[in-house]
Structure 1
């Protein structure tokens, strides 16, 4: 209900922008554009996001351990098998996309696969499948689309606004910030939900907590060219990319880790060593010291 109301508020804000620039006809046109954008996004979001990242699809032959991990997690979650992708990017991160569980995809960067242990990667991918299970992938893409359109209209209005007085000027100046606040409110709610789903799917909330602690710092110091070109893409990732916390679409990482630690207590542990009896398959993923079956370059 909260997400629906916030989405409605974002659409209404877009219509207000249209009204400020073009009167009643502008509001109607803005509503039609928003509806058209959402329809386009519904059918094409996954293709747009994956192409934006130059993601490469992998399968059981090219990356058996990584693909098999996602397959097992999807089965535990009661989800159809998503398409699995790897993004050749140094920044450790991951994302999910797709309009519904039947047309979903999950992706991890080479930086993430090289940095984390097997259990930590499993926790991250469980988080992304949590987004799929909760249908966040469609919601967040729609939010990013409308929020981006509001900012575009505001920029347009700064140069071509008609003489509509103070109200029009305020709309142009305030609307982008209002859109950002709504976008942040929706995204932060969905991130906590995906963390909770990940804990249930993997049964290892501490593994996800450990992964968040490792990658949150690195993600702020390693460039992400995609997020730099398209700031709205930052909300897709498991941790924010190159933004200050005040303007982040994600909750503070410390709060997420604390919540996962509480879940671990409720689960009676939530340890991270369930695969330690298979060192040949797990390997040491911190840096490039060893190659494992999860190595983004494929099996040995």
Structure 2
């Protein structure tokens, strides 16, 4: 059912793209936009991960890196991927003071994870493991294709809406539609199309974040570490640590573990992520549940080294 909803959402974005094309250029504009949307879907399927990594200047690293922080990060990701039954992803870092991370790729065999240098410097090793386990959960759930393609199409819809604004709105095949009405239509497109694209992003992102938190906590083995990491990333992102590449490419914001753009504190209409405190509460409940499910430790009574009279000790009830 989740995959069906995802395909419906992506189909909706394609239809929205075609609709904006119709309002700009009538039936001909719609057909052009539809062809472009289908071509973009195909291109994004094969190349969106490369585009995103290039956009953020991600550099691939491995366990042989001379810097201990990066070496530990790479080895932990590789180890958790193997434990989760996943192929080793491309492991990359992004030069940014803001602590954050994301995953991308069309399937687990072509996945990549990225962490900012700020994340590696500002979090403890177990917290970094928690964050990257969350990103590996996105890979395991095959969320990465949807998230990456959505970012590409959402950016294109915004660009198309801006095109409509500057070129005055729709015209039908008889040349009607310009003037004041056309300009009003263009303004409406410029405002509403990006909002519609954002709504699709949010529908994709929120439920997937909660699920990735849950599975990531299982992969990393420490829900509390992921919860602490989320709180720290949220605090740093709202205290002046800007991700400049994300500010230039807001359509990719939903890919990150914490929204890199704004400090919204609630699950409101224009937040691409669930509220951090809601995610933390869910993780802490998960941690309590894990503790409750663990069997109580077996307490073996100590056997005195000798009998009260100084003779050899008796074998006791276990022989």
Can you list the C-alpha shifts for 1:112-136, whole angstroms capped at 9, x where unaligned?
1111111111100000101111111
Q: Any unmatched runs of 5+ in structure 2?
A: 171-176, 294-319
Is 1:75 the counterpart of 2:82 in the alignment? Answer: yes
Is 1:205 the counterpart of 2:223 in the alignment? Answer: yes
Quick one: distance in 2 between partners of 1:144 and 1:242?
A: 14
Residue 193 of structure 2: which of 171, 175, 188 is its match? 175
Is 1:149 the counterpart of 2:156 in the alignment? Answer: yes
Matching residue of 1:231: 250
Matching residue of 2:73: 66
Residue 24 of structure 1: which of 16, 27, 32 is its match? 27
* 1:217 shift after superposition: 1.2
TM-score (norm 1): 0.85
Can you list the C-alpha shifts for 1:170-225, whole angstroms capped at 9, x where unaligned?
44432221111111111112211211110121121111001001111101221111
Quick one: distance in 2 between partners of 1:44 and 1:197?
A: 27
Matching residue of 2:317: none
User: In structure 1, the residue corresponding to 2:273 is in which secondary structure?
Assistant: coil
* 1:49 shift after superposition: 1.6
Q: Which has the higher contact order (CA 8 A, sep 6+)?
A: 1
Q: Any unmatched runs of 5+ in structure 1?
A: 271-300
Is 1:49 the counterpart of 2:52 in the alignment? Answer: yes
Is 1:126 the counterpart of 2:129 in the alignment? Answer: no
Matching residue of 1:186: 204
Matching residue of 1:293: none
Is 1:258 the counterpart of 2:281 in the alignment? Answer: yes
On the 8 A contact 1:16/1:171 being kept in 2, the answer is no
Can you list the C-alpha shifts for 1:104-155, whole angstroms capped at 9, x where unaligned?
1111111111111111111000001011111111101111111111111111
Matching residue of 1:195: 213
Quick one: distance in 2 between partners of 1:172 and 1:115?
A: 39
On the 8 A contact 1:227/1:233 being kept in 2, the answer is yes
Can you list the C-alpha shifts for 1:17-51, whole angstroms capped at 9, x where unaligned?
11111222222221111111111111112221222
User: In structure 2, the residue corresponding to 1:96 is in which secondary structure?
Assistant: strand
Can you list the C-alpha shifts for 1:221-262, whole angstroms capped at 9, x where unaligned?
211110121111212211011224243211110111111112
TM-score (norm 2): 0.80
